[in-house]
């Protein structure tokens, strides 16, 4: 939205209906959106507040198939409500809003393309959209990075991860993803997997491992809008 459009249609908070700042969120609402704080640089698992940034015990014991995680916010309070609105109440306009909040906190570094976590076709038809793809599209506008939405697919329909514990989440995602097109990935050295929420990292591990099997030298980052603790 340019300056004239903002003058003509001033931002209004989507949560409180109060006057928004530069985005459609009020200052009081934005103040409730907590950044991740101290976290493992590999998986993004939150660490005790007084800790120094360090690789967590789980990643030291078994390194994941991705090298780095960047989370925009903690999955709590207002951020959780906004994500739920996007995901389950078809508030697609919030993908743009959330991406605008998120983009300034991202270190693009050497990332060359974005890969949204795919939905199984049955769930996509049921929901009508993929929230990870909607976020990736909006991030693409802010970063200039292309979105590779045809490179991987959800090969197996699985129960929602939110209903499962960490062990069952990993089992649930076995053989869940498959490469569908290698063309867009050829010649790339670094990509970022994009999703709305990360808890145990099982989804990202399953997807990253498929990519690493075919492209072992590919560096993979995980970009998630919000990080919840998987502990």
Stronger pLDDT, 58 or 166, i.e. the higher one: 58
Nearest to residue 36, comparing CAs of 70, 7, 81?
A: 70
pLDDT at 81 over 70: yes
Stronger pLDDT, 2 or 184, i.e. the higher one: 184
The answer to whether 149 and 184 are in contact (CB under 8 A) is no
The mean per-residue pLDDT over the stretch 31-50 comes to 88
The percent of residues in the chain predicted with pLDDT above 90, rounded, is: 56
Edge-to-edge, what's the strand order for the sheet holding 219-227? 68-74, 219-227, 190-198, 113-116
Beta pairing, strands 177-179 & 152-154: antiparallel
Stronger pLDDT, 28 or 128, i.e. the higher one: 128
The mean per-residue pLDDT over the stretch 100-108 comes to 93
Residue 145's pLDDT is what? 98
Residue 12's pLDDT is what? 66
Cβ neighbours for 186, distance < 8 A, ≥ 6 positions apart: none
Split at pLDDT 50, 70, 90, the class of 53 is confident
Stronger pLDDT, 19 or 70, i.e. the higher one: 70
Over residues 126-157, the pLDDT tens digits come to 989 999 999 999 999 999 999 999 999 999 87
The mean per-residue pLDDT over the stretch 105-132 comes to 94
Residue 131's pLDDT is what? 94
pLDDT at 94 over 80: yes
Q: What is the mean pLDDT of the chain?
A: 87
CATH code of the domain occupying 34-227:
3.40.50
* Predicted model pTM: 0.86
pLDDT at 25 over 80: no
The answer to whether 194 and 116 are in contact (CB under 8 A) is yes
Nearest to residue 103, comparing CAs of 11, 205, 192, 220?
A: 192
Cβ neighbours for 42, distance < 8 A, ≥ 6 positions apart: 55, 56, 59, 63, 64, 66, 67, 68, 69
The mean per-residue pLDDT over the stretch 79-92 comes to 86
DSSP state of 119: P
């Amino acid at each position: 939205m340019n300056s004239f459009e903002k003058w003509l249609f001033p931002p209004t908070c989507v949560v409180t209906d109060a006057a928004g700042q530069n985005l459609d969120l009020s200052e009081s609402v934005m103040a409730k959106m907590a950044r991740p704080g101290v976290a493992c640089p590999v998986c993004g698992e939150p660490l005790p507040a007084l800790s120094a940034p360090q690789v967590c015990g789980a990643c030291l014991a078994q390194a994941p198939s991705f090298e780095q995680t960047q989370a925009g916010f903690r999955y709590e309070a207002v951020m959780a409500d906004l994500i739920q609105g996007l995901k389950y109440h078809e508030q697609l306009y919030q993908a743009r809003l959330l991406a605008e909040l998120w983009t300034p906190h991202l270190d693009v570094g050497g990332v060359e393309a974005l890969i949204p976590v795919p939905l199984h076709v049955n769930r996509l038809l049921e929901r009508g959209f993929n929230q990870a793809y909607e976020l990736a599209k909006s991030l693409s506008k802010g970063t200039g990075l292309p979105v590779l939405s045809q490179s991987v697919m959800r090969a197996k329909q699985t129960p929602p991860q939110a209903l499962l514990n960490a062990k069952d989440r990993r089992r649930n995602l076995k053989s869940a993803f498959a490469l569908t097109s290698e063309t867009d990935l050829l010649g790339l050295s670094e990509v970022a997997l994009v999703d709305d929420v990360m808890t145990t990292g099982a989804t990202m591990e399953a997807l990253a491992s498929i990519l690493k099997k075919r492209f072992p030298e590919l560096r993979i980052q995980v970009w998630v809008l919000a990080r919840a603790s998987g502990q």
